[in-house]
Amino acid sequence: GESVGLHLPTLSVQEGDNSIINCAYSNSASDYFIWYKQESGKGPQFIIDIRSNMDKRQGQRVTVLLNKTVKHLSLQIAATQPGDSAVYFCAEKAGGGFNAGGTSYGKLTFGQGTILTVHP
Amino acid sequence: DSGVTQTPKHLITATGQRVTLRCSPRSGDLSVYWYQQSLDQGLQFLIQYYNGEERAKGNILERFSAQQFPDLHSELNLSSLELGDSALYFCASSVALSGRYQETQYFGPGTRLLVL
């Protein structure tokens, strides 16, 4: 029978290699982007974020690159470890404005995710 | 551990029933968000509350409703359940600051709902 469900892109790497996970976003008005990691049976875990006024941001072993011209986001993981194996999601948020209370409207739009498998 | 808690962890129920999912945000966070994650739709935003008031609505069905209480915990009510409602339901929370500050959302561990 026909399978159902999302067919996620996959990336397999050897331990110690660098990984690059890509994401194309859709809304040119999005001004905030986040990468999340989701391990099996757990909720999405924040990795790194970037605002649209930046094109690169570095964290510990991770770097996010933003190319607004082509609406592309990437996550680079240095020296990938088996514990990095998970599904990685990019998420975008359009500004949405602020109300009198000073909070932004928070809808995040998630990409479909990429499965990263790290082989020892 | 993100600091966001959700109960129950697992829920099995029958079609036509009603369930309530509970979320406690991180200490100090005023905004709560609900998301649904299913195999065929991925992660979908349902609804956001800020300090007890609804702030944004996404792909939330009319059979679903939510609220945020004075102590800032939130409940998501799912009624007239259908097989297709089987999914993981996540709650996230964030700090609301004045000014143009983009708030990171921290997710709870989720509730896995199975409708039989």
pLDDT in tens, B26-41: 998 988 999 999 987 7
For residue B97, the model assigns a pLDDT of 53
Residue B62 pLDDT > 50? yes
Segment (H or E) for B77: strand B74-78
Neighbours of B104 (CB within 10 A): 15
How many interface pairs between A and B have CB atoms less than 8 angstroms apart?
89
Q: Can you give the pLDDT at residue B103?
A: 73
Q: Report the Cα A95 to chain-centroid distance in Å.
A: 18
Q: What is the band of A95 on the pLDDT scale with cuts at 50, 70, 90? A: low
Burial of A87 (0-12, 13-18, 19+ CB in 10 A): middle
- Per DSSP, the three-state class of A38 is strand
Q: Are strands B111-115 and B10-13 parallel, antiparallel or unpaired?
A: parallel
Q: A69, exposed or middle or buried, with CB in 10 Å at 0-12, 13-18, 19+?
A: exposed
Among A90-94, A113-117, B80-84, the range scoring the smallest mean pLDDT is: A90-94
Contact B104 A5 (CB under 8 A): no
Distance CA A99, CA B110 (A): 29
d(CA B60, CA B9): 21
Contact B109 A42 (CB under 8 A): yes
Q: Which residues pair with A13 in a beta bridge?
A: A118
Residue A69: predicted pLDDT: 94
Query: Residue A97 above 60 pLDDT?
Result: no
Average pLDDT over residues A67-76: 95
Give A3's pLDDT tier (boundaries 50, 70, 90): very low
DSSP letter at A83? G
Which residues on adjacent β-strands are paired with residue A91?
A: A34, A110
So what's the pLDDT on residue B69? 97
Judging contacts by C-beta atoms under 8 Å, the chain A residues touching residue B55 are 99, 103, 105-106
A110:B100 CB<8 A: no
Say whether A46 and B55 touch across the interface (CB within 8 A): no
Residue A33 confidence (pLDDT) above 50:
yes
| Residue from the list B48, B98, B104 with its beta carbon closest to the beta carbon of A102 | B98
Tokens 């300090």 locate to B51
The Cα of A94 is separated from the nearest Cα of chain B by a number of Å equal to 10
The alpha carbon torsion through A47, B109, B107, A10 (nearest 10 deg) reads 40
Per-residue model confidence (pLDDT) at position A8: 85
Q: Confirm if B24 and B93 have CB atoms less than 8 A apart.
A: no
User: At a CB cut-off of 8 Å and minimum separation 6, what does B17 contact?
Assistant: B81, B115
- How does the average pLDDT of chain A come out, rounded? 86
Closest residue in B to A30 (Cα) is: B102
Query: What number is the average pLDDT over the span A21-33?
Result: 90
Q: Give residue ranges of A with CB < 8 Å to any B CB.
A: 4-6, 31-32, 34, 36, 42-46, 49, 51, 89, 93, 95-96, 98-99, 101-113
Q: Are A105 and B48 in contact (CB < 8 Å)?
A: yes
